[in-house]
Structure formats: C-alpha cells, structure tokens
Structure 1
Amino acid sequence: MASGILGLGSGQAASLNSDLIEKLKTAERKATVEPYDTKIENITKEKEVFSSIETKVSELLNAIKPFDLFVSGGVSAFEQKSATTSGDSVTFDAADVKSLKKGFTSVEVTQLAQKDVYQSNSFNSTIKDGTVDQGDLIINGETFNTNGKTYQQLADEISTKSGMNASIEQVGTDSFRLVIKSEDTGLDNALSISGQASQALGYTTDQITVNTSNHILEAKNMIAKVDGVTYDVSSNTITVDGLKITANKEGTSSINIVEDNTQVETQMQNFITKYNELVALVDGEVYNADSKLGDKSSIRDIIDQVKSKLFDSYGSSSDKSVFNYGIELDRYGSLSLDSTKFNDAVQNDMTGLKDLFLGTAEKKGLGTVLKETIDQMTFTGGTLDLYAKSMTTRETTLNTEKNKAEEALNAKYELLSLQFSSYGTIINQMESSFSGLKMLIQQSTVSN
C-alpha cells in the first residue's frame, strides 16, 4: 500500500525551507546581478588603464614645454644661458634669463649701503618700566610726546610711522637702550632726530647736534662700478641688463654669460621618448581585443591629434618639418633622433629650429601648437576630460541598475519566503488530516 497520496504523509513541508530559497536566489543572482558586478569591475580596470594614458599624456606635455614659444618663465630650449662667476663681493641672479645679454660683466664694490641707526643712553630695568617724561622727540618731522609713556610704548608708537622702527634692546645684565633704525638703507632714508627728549635720551647733544657716540651706524649708499659705470644708490641690489646684482661686501667680482645649447638634444630626445611611450601604450590598448577601454575611438583620437600636429609643416613659409632636422619615423610608428643631423642644426641653423618649433605669435611653431593641443585635451570638453566624465557616468548608471536589480531580487525572494511558509503550513495541515485518514484505512484493513 502506498504510504501517501500525492506525496502527502512524506514530510514535504520540510523541503520548502530557507536552503532551497537561497539556492534559487543564488542561481537567479548570477543571471540578474552578477553581470553588473563584472561590468563595474571592468570600469575599475578601465580607470587604471585610462590613468596610465593620462600620465603619459602629461609626461608628453612636460616634454614639449621647452619647445613652446610661450613657455613658463619665458626661456625655451633654444634660449638657455649659462654663467661662470668669480669673486664673492656680489651675488648674481636673473628673474628673466631670456633678457640677459651675453658677455663678461665686472663689478667693483667700494661701499655698501647701510641703514641709519641710533641708540639711546643706557638705562636700568627700573627706568625701563617707568615713564619717559622727557618732552617731545622729533624724528623726520614726526613728533612723539614722551610724557606719561613707557619706553616700550614710545618704541611701539615710533614703529607705526613709515620709514622708521624702534625697539628696546637689552645690552647688559641690567642695561637697556632704545634703538631707533631707518627701515631701509641709503642716504635717502637717513633719520633726523631732534627735540627736548632727543638730548635727554642721548641722541643729540643739544637737541639738534647729533651725538656721534650714539649714532652707531650712519646711512650710506652703495657705491659700485659695473663695467666702469659708477652707481651711487640707496640699495645694495641693482639690476643691469636683466642681471640682478646684490652687493655683499667690498671687493671685485665678475660673471660671464654665454648661450647654453648643451641640453637641447637631451630635451628633444626626452620628447621623442615620451611620444613613443604614449603611442606604444595607446596602440597596445586600442588594438587589444581584451582591453578594458570602453571607447577606443576617443583614445585613438589622442594619438591622431598629436600626429597631425607633429607631421605638419611649419615656419614662416610653411617649409619646415621635423624630418628636416634629424627626427626619423620607423615602420612601426616610433620616432628616433639622428644626433649628428640635429646637433648640426643646433650649431648652424638655430634660427630654423626656432622657426620650426617656436614660431611666432602670428605663425606658431610645432612645439607651441602641440603644447596647446595637449593642453586642450585636459580642459573641460577636451578628449581626456570627456572620457573621464563618461567613465564616471557609466559607473554611476551601472551601480544604480545593479542596486535596482538587487532590490528586485531581494523583494522577490522575501515574497517567496512568505509563500513557502504559507505553503508549508497548508501542507502540514493536510498531512495532519491525512494521518487520521491513514489510521482509519489501516484499522479497516486489519478488521477485514
């Protein structure tokens, strides 16, 4: 005799459990949610590839900057200068190397510019902490009334005025002086001190005549000869033909400025190397079936833009090309440099190289145009900017769709769990009823 009808009496409710639901949910998740995980993971890998390409584009940009007419700092690869110096009486500097004139410059310093400095008679701490009370102190026409003011208050008030400053200096164990200085060096910044307080404090001997023993530093101009021309100025720094000269002490120094073309080949080779690295990276991704790039045509456009500028004609007559100056292209698309031919141009045709790479504001050269082109790729709306935004948009959309799919899956199986629970209750009730029927059948069979 069968033990159950349609499975009743076989404990079927037990099979409608959470394990079965999880197995069903896991199987459906692979089809509905996991594809989004794969796509999101691919975008993460795409970002890594794109970051590498961005880095190479940035390196190429930095490599072409020395060949840009509008290079930051104003000095291109073709306008570098170097200098040799002798002596330590002055230091040399230049804010704009481009403006420097070639040649030898000699500097003879016979006097340094210095400030005007006065000190008061010394006083102890008791006097320092009391009030001055010596009437008016007049400095360069400014009147300072000392009555009712401490030395520190007087010093602070002096320092608020243009062209002078003052401080209380401890010069001994219990000895202080009120020191007054001109703000700047030179005769034009000398101090004139007078008034009743000037005599009482020791700056003057009779309210007018300078007390030389307390006039500890006298204002002076710098006096120097630069290539025989005498300079008598208030500052220790002068600028001559773009050369900043700062006097340190009396004595003679010199500088010799010459054109420096020793780095041009190195800088050109660096550009070629960075170009080849970018091309190799992009080609390796664009022509790779397994590449994670989502928009290969946009990435290929980077190289197309660079190549269109690189292989164009330049110069005032549009008759100059990189191939005229030792840059060569092999069958794989890589550049190389014929050093002999390039350096010959550096030595004998610098004008032509500048015309090719720098150009003019009206007729821009290769380096200038290429720098602008690569710059524009990173600007808002440029190739790199749009690609980066596209990845972000795609990633955001995928995460949103994945969340929706996850929520729908969870909702479906929450409902299924409730249905299984309800079905289990019904089956248990039916199995309970069937158990009574089964007993009656069994009893009836025994009786017969």
Structure 2
Amino acid sequence: MASGILGLGMGQAASLNSDLIEKLKTAERKSTVEPIEKRIENITSEKEVFTSISNKVSELLESIKPFDLFVSGGVTAFEQKSATTSGDSVTFDAADIKALKKGFTSVEVTQLAQKDVYQSNTVSSATKDAVINAGELVINGETFDTTNMTYAQLADSINAKTGMSASLEQVGTDSFRLVIKSEDTGLENNLNISGAASQALGYTTDGTTVNSTNHILEAKNMIAKVDGVEYNVSTNNITVDGLKITANKVGTSTINVVEDNSQVENQMKNFVTKYNELVALVDSEVFSVDSKIADKSSIRDVVNQIKAKLFGSYGEDGNKSVFNYGIELDKYGGLSIDSKKFNEAVQNDMAGLKDLFLGSAENKGLGTTIKESLDDMNFTGGALSTYESGMSAREVSLNSEKEKAEKALNAKYEQLALQFSAYGSLINQMESSFSGLKMLIQQSTSSN
C-alpha cells in the first residue's frame, strides 16, 4: 500500500531548508557575480602590467635627460668636465658645471680666516653657579648687566644676540671658563669686549685693554692668491670662474679642468638599452593572447609616439638623423649602436651631435623633443595618464556593478527563504492532517 499521497507523510518540509537555498544561490552567483569579479581581477593584473610599462617609460625618460637642451639640475652629455688636483690646502667644488671654465688654476693660501675667541679666567663649580655681580659686560655695543646673573645665565643672554655666541665649558676637574666667540670668521666680525665685568672675568686687564692670555684666537681674514690674484676676505670660501674654493690650511693646491666626453657613448648606450626594454615589454603585451591589457592600441601608441620622434630629422638644416651617427635599427624594431662610428662623431663632430640631440630653443633637437614627449605622457590628457584614468574608471564601475549584483542576489534569496519557510509550514500542516487520515485508513483496513 502507498505510504503517502504526492509525497505527503514523507517529511517533505525538511527538504526546503537553508542548504538548498545556498546551493541555488551559489549556482546563480557563478553566472551573475563571479564574471564581474573576474573582470575586476583582470584590472588588478592589468594595473601591474601598466605599472611595469610606466616604469620603463620613466627609465627611458631618465636616460634621455643628458641629451635634453633644458636639462635641470645637471649638465648635458656634451658639457661634462673632469678635473685633476694636487695639494690639500684647499678643496675644489663646482655648484654649476656649466659655469666652470676649462684650464689650470693655482691657489696659494698664506693665512686662514678665523673667528675671534675669548675665554674667561677659570672658576670653580661653586663660583660658576653663584651670581657674578661684577657690573656690566659690553660686547660690540651690547650691554649685559651681571647683577644677580650666573655664568650660565650670562651665556644664554649673549647667545640671544646676533654676531656672538657663548658657552660655559668645563676645562678641568673643578675648573670652568666662559668662552665667547664671534659667530663668523674675519676681521669684520671681531669682538670688542669692555666694562667692569670684562676685567673681573678676565677678558680685559683694566676694563678696556685686551688680556692677551685669554684672547685665545684672533679674528683674521683668509689671504690667498688664485692664479696670482690676491684675495683678502673674511671667509675661507671663494668662488672663481664657477669654481668653489675652500681653504683648509696654509699651502698650495692646483686643479686642471678639461672637457670630458668619455661618458657620451655610455649615456647613449643606456638610452638604447632602455628604449629596447620598453619596446620589448610593449610588444610582449600587444602580441600576447594572454595579456591583461584591455586597450592594446593605446599602449602601442606609447611606443609609436617615441618612434615618430626618434626617426625624425633634426638639426638647423633638418638634415640630421640618429642613423647618421651609428645608431641602427634591427629587424625586431630595436636599436643598436655602432661604437666606432658614434665615437668618431664624438671626437670629430661634437657640434653635429649637439645640433642633432640638443638643438636650440627655436629648433629643438631629438633628445629635447623625446624628453618633452615622455613628460607629456604623464600629464593630464597624455597617453599614460589617460590610460591610467580609464583603468580607474573601469574599476570603479565594475565594483559598483558587483555591489548591485550582490545586493540583487541577496535580496532574491532572502525572499526565497521566506517563501520556503511559508511552504514548509503549509506542508507540515498538510502532513499533520494526512497523518489523521492515514490512521483512519489503517483502522478501517485492520477491521476488515
């Protein structure tokens, strides 16, 4: 005999549970939400590839800067200079290599500039912590009243004034001196100390006459000759023909500045290398079926813009090309350099190379043009900036789309869960009613 009608009496309400809902929801999520998540993951991978390409563009930009007419913070590849020095009486430096003149320079230092330095008589720790009460101390017209003032307080008062400094120094086990110095070197910065307190402290012998014993360093100017020209200045630093000279001690030193073209080839090789790396990376993405780049034509345009500049004609007469100077194009679209031909140009046609790469403000050269083009790519509206903005916009749109799909899916199955709950209650009621009917049938059957 049948145990139920249309499944009634078999506990069908139990099958309408959360596990079934989750299975249905998971199945539908695969077709609605997961495709969006995959596209978001692709953008993450695309960003990584784009960052690699962008970094290669930045490296190429750095490599072309030595060939830019308007290079900032340095000199072009054609303005490099080197120097050989002898002697250690001075050190040489050049803040602006462009302003540095070629040739031999001799520096003879006969006197170093120095500060004016005075020390007080020695005092014990007890005395230096007690008030001075010795009247007025006058330094270069500045008056300091020592009444109710300790040595440390006097030092603080002196330090608050311009052109002088003071410090309380421990010079022995129980011995201290108040040392007063001019802030800067040179005769014009000497100290004039007077007053009753100056005699009491030992800076002067009668309030005005300098105590030579305690005048431990006398202000002096630097005296030196540079190529025979005598300098008598308050500092140990002078700049001559773009060359910064810092005197260290008495003596003679020399420097010989010459043009240095030894790095031009290496800098050009670096540009060629960085160009080839960028081309290889872009080609690998453009021609790969697995590439995550969504807009390959835009990425290809990055290289095309550079190529358009690279293969152009330059110079005052528009008759110069990189191919005239040993730069060659291989069958894969990469560059190579014929060192022999390029170095011949470095040695014999430097003006031509400058005309090709640097050009002028009115007629920009290859290096200047490429540098500007690479800069523009990162500006608003440029190839890289536009691509990056597009990726960000797509990512925002996809995240919004995913959020809406998730909400719709959750709402649908929340409603379904409510319906399942209602169905379950109804089935339970029907099964309960059926169980009574079943008992009547069983009793009727058994009585027969």
Q: Take 1:398 and 1:86, find their aligned partners in 2: how far apart are those partners?
A: 68
1:397-440 per-position Cα deviation (integer Å, ceiling 9, x unaligned): 21221122112112211221221222122222222323333343
Correspondence 1:3-402 to 2 at 5 A: 3-402=3-402
SS, match of residue 144 in structure 2: strand
1:79-120 per-position Cα deviation (integer Å, ceiling 9, x unaligned): 111111111111111101111111111111111111111112
C-alpha spacing 1:434/1:80, structure 2 compared with 1 (3 Å): same
Q: Take 1:184 and 1:137, find their aligned partners in 2: how far apart are those partners?
A: 21
Determine what percentage of the aligned residue pairs are the same residue: 76
Residue 447 (structure 1) shift: 5.2
Q: Which AA in structure 1 matches 2:414? A: E
TM-score by length of 1: 0.95
Q: Take 2:144 and 2:10, find their aligned partners in 1: how far apart are those partners?
A: 113
Deviates more, 1:222-231 or 1:197-206: 197-206
Residue 446 (structure 1) shift: 5.2
Residue 358 (structure 1) shift: 1.3
Q: Which AA in structure 2 matches 1:407? A: K
1:212-248 per-position Cα deviation (integer Å, ceiling 9, x unaligned): 1111111111111111111111111111111111111
Q: Take 2:439 and 2:119, find their aligned partners in 1: how far apart are those partners?
A: 125
Q: Take 2:22 and 2:201, find their aligned partners in 1: how far apart are those partners?
A: 97
Q: Take 1:442 and 1:126, find their aligned partners in 2: how far apart are those partners?
A: 119
Q: Take 1:161 and 1:155, find their aligned partners in 2: how far apart are those partners?
A: 10
How many residues align? The count is: 448
Moved runs in structure 1, 4+ residues, more than 4 A?
442-448
Q: Which AA in structure 2 matches 1:232? A: N
Deviates more, 1:134-143 or 1:235-244: 134-143
Q: Take 2:122 and 2:223, find their aligned partners in 1: how far apart are those partners?
A: 34
SS, match of residue 162 in structure 1: coil
Q: Take 2:18 and 2:239, find their aligned partners in 1: how far apart are those partners?
A: 87
Gaps of 5+ in 1: none
Q: Take 1:181 and 1:113, find their aligned partners in 2: how far apart are those partners?
A: 14
Q: CA RMSD in A?
A: 1.7
Gaps of 5+ in 2: none
1:170-228 per-position Cα deviation (integer Å, ceiling 9, x unaligned): 22222222221111111111112222222222222222222211111111111111111
C-alpha spacing 1:342/1:426, structure 2 compared with 1 (3 Å): same
Q: Take 1:190 and 1:414, find their aligned partners in 2: how far apart are those partners?
A: 90
1:342-362 per-position Cα deviation (integer Å, ceiling 9, x unaligned): 111111111111111112222
